[in-house]
């Protein structure tokens, strides 16, 4: 392992059992011919409700009527996560096809009209649109959120602090949103740029402890900068609904197995830094501006250029950094039984590129129709 990463990561102790997992994914509903977003979430949810493989709570609305969200149950292992994602993608894709549209697991809408898409008719979404106006209209972006179980909020804040330097690397690996309103944005994760326009977004700040976390969020609410804690749009945060830490830095993935791989990485990172916290191992010190710059760079270049080392902040080759990442996380991956699955998929990612790379290749080879067909095929987990 390079000396730029810690040479002796804390190993999970006897009480450090694998953390529970849950994954949420957001999708677009696209016209099969034009690739334009279609406001058909009500039809898709109605068709999905008829599917015996789905529970009512697993398929939800999103801000725009051209979007749909799924959520897995609480899972113990990656095979369970993968099984649920495949089941949900199959069922929702079938419901979408029955409703005359494609399910699309891409981080941004590759094509869109100038006319703003319809907002979902619900009190929360109407209030968001009232507050954020054009930002809400242009929120044709899809992420994946990984929840990892935490024993208490104090530990959760300590883990959140120590995850911050790793968030730009997750942005780069997961980048799957190069296109925007019919043009190449020049970014691998344009979703990251769009989402960072919202208030209280990007890499979260460092907190002294759980009391500091809650005090500062309450101050934001008292100042009416946010309506509620759901409007904390940081790349990672404590969940207010579940006893989990929620990592939100990643674009939704074209392939279900890539989502599983990222979930495994997030769990291994959380397990490792939690062990370091418990054993008193110092975490890396990075300035806010350094992390903001690293996140922007990861969104811009994805895996095509150098990335910034989570510890030193200096640029390094992607392959070297991923190799060190695997070595750093190996104890946690082995303990959870995830090593073979995660490392093999990481190696494939290095060979084939992330979703942004593959979207660009599909557009170059097959044009608009080829791109839409590729996104639909991979999203449906065929």
- 125-138, pLDDT tens digit by residue? 888 888 888 898 88
Tell the burial category of 15 from Cβ atoms under 10 Å away from its Cβ (0-12, 13-18, 19+). Answer: exposed
Compute CA distances 232 → 26, 32, 156, 241, 248, whole Å.
18, 34, 16, 13, 11
Q: Are 120 and 63 in contact (CB under 8 A)?
A: yes
pLDDT surpassing 80 at residue 16: no
Sort strands 102-104 and 67-71 into parallel, antiparallel or unpaired: unpaired
Domain residues of the chain, as ranges? 21-376
- pLDDT recorded at residue 91: 92
Q: Are 118 and 38 in contact (CB under 8 A)?
A: no
pLDDT surpassing 70 at residue 14: no
166 SS3 class: helix
- pLDDT recorded at residue 12: 54
- pLDDT recorded at residue 48: 82
pLDDT digits (tens, 9 = 90+) for 157-210: 999 999 999 999 999 999 999 999 999 999 999 999 999 999 999 999 999 999
pLDDT digits (tens, 9 = 90+) for 57-99: 788 888 889 999 999 999 999 999 999 999 999 999 999 999 9
Calculate what percentage of the chain has a pLDDT beyond 90. Answer: 82
Q: Are 90 and 380 in contact (CB under 8 A)?
A: yes
CATH 3.10.105.10 is right for the domain spanning 21-376:
no
Task: Give 75's strand partners.
Answer: 21
- pLDDT recorded at residue 120: 87
- pLDDT recorded at residue 2: 45
Q: Are 44 and 96 in contact (CB under 8 A)?
A: yes
Interior angle at CA 330, CA 328 and CA 331, nearest 5? 105
Region 309-314 average pLDDT: 96
- Determine the Cα–Cα distance for residues 67 and 64; give it in Å rounded to an integer: 6
Phi, psi of 198 (to 5 degrees): -75, 150
What sign results for the dihedral spanned by CA atoms 180, 184, 188, 194? negative
- pLDDT recorded at residue 4: 45
pLDDT surpassing 80 at residue 244: yes
- pLDDT recorded at residue 1: 44
pTM for the predicted model, two decimal places: 0.94
Question: Model confidence at 146, in pLDDT bands (50, 70, 90)?
Answer: very high
Q: Are 51 and 87 in contact (CB under 8 A)?
A: no
């Amino acid at each position: 392992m390079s000396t730029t990463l810690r040479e002796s990561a804390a190993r999970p102790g006897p009480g450090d059992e694998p953390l529970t997992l849950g994954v949420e994914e957001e999708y677009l509903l696209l016209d099969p011919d034009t690739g334009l977003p279609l406001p058909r979430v009500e039809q898709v949810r109605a068709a999905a409700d008829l599917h015996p493989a789905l529970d009512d709570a697993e398929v939800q609305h999103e801000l725009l009527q051209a979007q749909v969200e799924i959520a897995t149950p609480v899972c113990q292992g990656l095979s369970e996560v993968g099984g649920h994602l495949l089941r949900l993608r199959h069922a929702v894709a079938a419901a979408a096809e029955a409703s005359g549209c494609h399910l699309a697991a891409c981080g941004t809408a590759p094509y869109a009209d100038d006319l703003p898409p319809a907002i979902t008719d619900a009190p929360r979404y109407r209030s968001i649109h009232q507050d954020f106006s054009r930002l809400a209209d242009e929120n044709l972006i899809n992420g994946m959120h990984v929840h990892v179980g935490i024993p208490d909020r104090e530990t959760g804040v300590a883990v959140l602090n120590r995850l911050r330097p790793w968030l730009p690397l997750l942005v780069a690996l997961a980048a799957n949103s190069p296109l925007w309103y019919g043009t190449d944005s020049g970014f691998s994760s344009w979703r990251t740029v769009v989402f960072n326009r919202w208030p209280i977004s990007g890499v979260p700040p460092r907190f002294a402890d759980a009391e500091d976390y809650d005090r500062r969020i309450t101050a934001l609410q008292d100042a009416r900068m946010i309506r509620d804690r759901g409007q904390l749009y940081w790349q990672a945060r404590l969940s207010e609904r579940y006893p989990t830490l929620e990592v939100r830095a990643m674009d939704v993935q074209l392939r279900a197995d890539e989502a599983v791989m990222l979930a495994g990485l997030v769990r291994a990172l959380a397990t490792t830094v939690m062990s370091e916290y418990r054993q008193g191992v110092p975490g890396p010190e990075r300035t806010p501006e350094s992390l903001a710059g690293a996140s922007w760079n990861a969104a811009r270049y994805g895996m095509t250029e150098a990335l910034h080392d989570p510890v030193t902040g200096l640029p390094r080759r992607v392959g070297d950094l991923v190799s060190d990442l695997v070595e750093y996380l190996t104890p946690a991956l082995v303990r959870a039984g995830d090593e073979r699955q995660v490392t093999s998929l990481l190696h494939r990612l290095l060979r084939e590129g992330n979703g942004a790379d593959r979207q660009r290749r599909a557009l170059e080879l097959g044009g608009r129709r080829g791109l839409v067909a590729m996104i639909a095929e991979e999203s449906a987990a065929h």
